[in-house]
Amino acid sequence: MSPHTPETREALRAAARWLALLDSGDASEADLLRLAQWRASSPLHEDAWQKASLLRARFAGLPGALAMAALDRPDAGRRALLKQALGVSALLPLAWLVSRELPLDAWTADMRTAVGERR
């Protein structure tokens, strides 16, 4: 199951909703029957259900505060944007330093003299 397809994301969201319903204690017999039908309707649904169940089992042993901290972490898009911003902010001073130490004007000039030198 590829995590990048819209069908996969929707199946995982549906599995999460089913788990939330079951864990709430408000699930009726009709809900359990609809869950069984949903799981049987597609291999993608069954795979999403298995992954969601495995995740629930892994979080079952964690303290509540730690589990919520893991679930509330920033999304990957925000992290990528922060990494790019940090990379640009690190490169700007480096580019300024290189331009001061190795001026491009000196490389393109017809004649060049050092500070205080006469020709």
Does 17 share its domain with 65? yes
Are both 62 and 82 inside the same structural domain? no
Residue-by-residue DSSP string for 25-64: T---HHHHHHHHHHHHH-HHHHHHHHHHHHHHHHHHTS-H
pLDDT in tens, 46-90: 999 998 888 888 777 777 777 677 667 666 777 788 888 888 888
The pLDDT, as a whole number, for residue 74 is 66
Separation of alpha carbons 82 and 73, rounded Å: 14
Residues 81 and 66 in one domain: no
Q: Is residue 5 over pLDDT 70?
A: yes
Is the domain of 108 the same as that of 69?
Answer: no
84 and 40 in a single domain? The answer is no
Segment 18-42, tens digit of pLDDT:
888 888 888 889 988 998 999 999 9
Residues 53 and 100 in one domain: no
**Domain total for the chain?**
2
User: Quick one: 31 and 63 in the same domain?
Assistant: yes
How far, in Å, are 40, 66, 117 from residue 33 at the CA level?
11, 33, 91
Q: What range defines the domain where residue 34 resides? A: 1-73
